Amino acid sequence: MLELLESAINTQTLTMVLAAVAAAATVLTLAMPFVFANPLDKRMRSVALEREKLRQRERERMNQEKQRVQLRASPKQYVQRIVDQFNLSKWVGQEEARLKLVQAGYRGQAPYVTFLFVRMVTPVVALLFTAFYVFLVLHLNYPLSVKIGICIGAAYVGMQLPMLLLKSKIQKRQLSIKRAFPDTLDLLLICVESGMSIEAAFRKVSDEIGSQSVALAEELTLTTAELSYLPDRRQAYENLAKRTDLEGVKSVTMALQQAERYGTPLSTMLRTMAQENRDMRMSEAEKKAAGLPPKLTVPMILFFLPVLFVVILGPAVIKVMAIK
């Protein structure tokens, strides 16, 4: 027994054992990457491949839509010629007007050129029409300066009329987007929690939300396309906020940018934003309901009270007239 212990404690034997352990550890370390593959690298490669497939499918879909429908129609030749001859893009054109056209749903060069043409034509038409009525039809007994002032005021109103109509179109479109936006966030939350990417979620929600708001479906489709081909995804979210010009959409796009930058969970963010948008919509409804009593005061005085007096005092007046 002692001989076995002495042979085990022998320096040569210990050296051989340690060398064998070191060789086995080296072989095991070199063979580990081949035997046990890293699942994270495989999943990251599959995610990158799936993203490329989504981008390719989105490009093919956009090409098919461009072939089927001409999205950016060219302006009429005579309209373009008049705009170029009078250099209306310098005198009448504004960058704000181009942005307002996009917010109203008019994209491309053709709506912008048409808008410039209309802004030039409407003051002239209003001036000639007003001058015709003031000087030839109505025969107003006013000084000449007053008549000229009326014509100039009509021309100013004619110049501002296209912008007023454009703002009215923007307000109707924003109202449609605002009403459907909380439901859109709920659908995005469901899609994201089911495992979809944000591009696929936007694509799916744009197909579903079209029954409630065509404008919002259109904006989500454009955002999906921009997320596919723009090099900076932040620009796609900023474009969505500019096209809608709504505080709720701006806050959501800002939160999406921060989620992609800092790695915040999208589901938590979307759930919070959906609740905030619903609270905002409820507060606006309560505000409108609180403003109804002052608005109903004048109609009640003009229409309800006279009828009420007739109903109450009518029989008494009839009896008094019968007695007399």
Of 121, 146, 172, the last residue of a domain is 172
pLDDT at 34: 60
76: DSSP letter: P
Q: Are residues 142 and 192 in the same domain?
A: no
In this prediction, residue 90 has a pLDDT band, given cuts at 50, 70 and 90, of low
**Cα separation, 205 vs 217, whole angstroms:** 8
Which range marks the domain in which residue 144 is found? 74-172
Q: Which two tokens stand for residue 49?
A: 């491949």
pLDDT at 76: 59
Q: Are residues 120 and 195 in the same domain?
A: no
Of 124, 139, 172, the last residue of a domain is 172
Q: Are residues 179 and 276 in the same domain?
A: yes
H helices of 291-304, in order, are 292-299
**Cα separation, 196 vs 138, whole angstroms:** 69
Is pTM beyond 0.85? Reply is no
pLDDT at 135: 82
pLDDT digits (tens, 9 = 90+) for 126-172: 888 888 888 887 777 778 888 888 888 888 888 888 888 888 999 99
pLDDT at 71: 43
Q: What is the DSSP secondary-structure string of 260-292?
A: HHH---HHHHHHHHHHHHHHHHHHHHHHHHHTH
pLDDT at 200: 87
**Would you call 269 helix, strand, or coil by DSSP?**
helix
**Cα separation, 271 vs 259, whole angstroms:** 13
In this prediction, residue 21 has a pLDDT band, given cuts at 50, 70 and 90, of confident
